Amino acid sequence: MTSAVGQSSDRPDKTPPSFLQAIFARLEQAGDAAILQQVEAGERMSVTARELLAMIGQARAFLSTKGLRKGDRCALLAPNSVRWIALDLALMAENLIVVPLYARQAPVELVAMIKDSSASIICCGDSELRDAIHRTWPENPDAFLLEQIFRTHSTAAGKIQLADSDPVTIIYTSGTSGEAKGVILNAGNIAHILASTNARLGQLTEGSERRDRVFHYLPFCFAGSWIMLLTCLVRGSLLTVNTDLHQFSREMRLAAPDYVLNVPQLLERMRRAVDEQLWKTGGAALVIYGRAKAAWMRRYDGQHRLGDSLWLKLGRALIFPTIRRNMIGDNLKALISGSAPLAVETQLFFMMLGIPVLQVYGLTETTAICTMDVPHHALPGRVGPAIAGIEMKLGENDEIIVRGPNIFPGYWNRPRETENALRDNWFHTGDQGEMDPSGNWKITGRIKNLIILGSGHNIAPEPIEDKLVELAGAQQVVVVGNGRGYLAAILTGDLSTEKVQEAIDRLNARLPHYKQVRAFHIRREPFSVDNGLLTSNGKLKRDLIAALLQQDIDGLYKGKQAS
């Protein structure tokens, strides 16, 4: 391989390189430069491009002995690591289809997806995961530990032959309302998205004389996280892989990244942590911070007051740089947020600190991305314009529908669901949205989450939920009321009845009568992946929540306010 753009001697010169060839060419070119970092036993371990290629060769040699054929599915069940990356690339190079799974999911859910994909082998991160799968499904396919795979002494580096139509992965959807479905993504889907992400990140880092430094903690089994990983490999970035969320803050500061991909939940947690820390600190710092923050929010709302400029000047000089430095460091160019809508207040908070937050919108079926904020032009509350080469428009009930080379070819072994999702070459996202005159999109809700009151009013719960999270300081909010006479809310966290009622009163004052919340229930335990009430990427399992809390919800409609 002789070129940074992926030209290879094992293919005709006129054949465009696949995204995988481009990655391998970049690695060949990088040679002894560090390409990945990972902290192990408190020590930072660097992996050069040459070492990563050798690891990929080890994995390919191992796979070549297992009698696998092109298109066979291989389940990859492990937390993030350098080995995960090497094995993923090796599987694709061998023309196998990777089925990445989330290691924290219940064994019964993992087994269901492995069975559904008809995986030929399972690659497990550790023996505990392997044994849990075997206990749940004694007849499971051959399961190998990553340690075994990378113990191979030989290496293999055959031709990479990947057509745009070749499936490379099956990523299972989060399953918010029923059984998870396997989303097939092909090489053409990936290539189109990588070109878009590469171009957009190039805009973000324009003028920089060094290669990107990226910190990454989101599980690679999620489509957006995987696309970020591949983008870093295409760009030749130095990627620091976090393997222990307990060390998240420390490792992120050590990595000194240019950008970080996030989920809104973490950004909102970071914002609350700053508020709580300054509240504990008290004194002049709290006074300046509180008044500067209020002035910043008023400026956004167009309600500037006399003295606001002074408080903002003091905040920028004395408080904000320290918060930013302690939280993330001085090199950060932007935070990138995806997977769910980000609260406007949280986006404005980071902007106040001088940290742009760029939003990305998409689904697994759209190869993770439909829109991306343009650096230096992000509008709070919006998720940017459609990426180059795709079309987006509104269908019935303001549903966002999309077509283009990023759209998946179908669900694995589910022709009926595929036919329902892909109509007249348009993918129906199930999301509701709106677009401003500049082409910037805003996500307003999910069609299947619509609440239809007994009065016939149709209400998207998400905007109400997001505002209550902000006003009440709740960890999560679920609004209910389908077929009922009014809306009610379930809030999680350590909350007082008085604080929640105050928040609801403030919210209701801004809403028409049919959107007002008339009752609430406080649940101390938050919804989580571990208790089965959140999907693996943090989305509410509304049907399960409603079933679990049915008695409490019924109480909210019998003139009783539960708390």
Residues 474, 359 share a domain: no
Residues 463, 443 share a domain: no
Residues 422, 275 share a domain: yes
pLDDT, tens only, 77-112 = 999 999 999 999 999 999 999 999 988 888 888 999
- Does residue 537 lie within any of the structural domains? yes
Q: What is the pLDDT of residue 559?
A: 54
- Does residue 189 lie within any of the structural domains? no
**CATH number for the domain harbouring residue 316:** 3.40.50.12780
Q: Last residue of a domain, which of 447, 479, 495?
A: 447
Token pair for 148 = 């075994």
| 3-state SS class at 109 | helix
Residues 217, 123 share a domain: yes
Residues 309, 218 share a domain: no
- Does residue 37 lie within any of the structural domains? yes
Residue 562 pLDDT > 80, yes or no? no
Beta-carbon contacts of 130 under 8 Å, excluding residues fewer than 6 positions away, are 122, 124, 143, 145
| 3-state SS class at 272 | helix
Strand 441-446 relative to strand 426-435, pairing: antiparallel
What are the CA-CA distances from residue 129 to residues 108, 124, 244, 396 (Å)?
12, 6, 17, 44
Q: Last residue of a domain, which of 392, 424, 447?
A: 447
Q: Which letter does DSSP use for residue 215 in this model?
A: E
- Does residue 175 lie within any of the structural domains? no
Task: Please give the mean pLDDT across all residues of the chain.
Answer: 89
| 3-state SS class at 34 | strand
**Beta bridge mates, 402:** 392, 427
Token pair for 227 = 């696309």
| Residue owning tokens 């130095």 | 238
pLDDT, tens only, 198-236 = 999 999 988 887 899 999 999 999 999 999 999 999 999
**Which of 415, 413, 362 is CA-nearest to residue 390?**
362
| 3-state SS class at 40 | strand
Of all residues in the chain, the percent with pLDDT exceeding 70 is 95
CA dist., res. 79 & res. 93, Å (int): 21
pLDDT, tens only, 144-155 = 999 999 998 888
Token pair for 259 = 């950008």
pTM listed for this prediction: 0.83
Residue 511 pLDDT > 80, yes or no? yes
pLDDT band at residue 7 under the 50/70/90 scheme: very low
Beta-carbon contacts of 128 under 8 Å, excluding residues fewer than 6 positions away, are none
Residues 272, 362 share a domain: yes
**Which of 157, 158, 156, 160 is CA-nearest to residue 6?**
160
Q: What is the pLDDT of residue 410?
A: 97
Residues 460, 422 share a domain: no
pLDDT, tens only, 462-477 = 889 989 998 999 999 9
Residues 431, 322 share a domain: yes
Residue 175 pLDDT > 70, yes or no? no
Range of the domain at 247: 19-161+206-258
CA dist., res. 532 & res. 108, Å (int): 12
Count: domains in the chain = 3
**CATH number for the domain harbouring residue 495:** 3.30.300.30
Residues 132, 70 share a domain: yes
Residues 403, 515 share a domain: no
Q: What is the pLDDT of residue 130?
A: 94
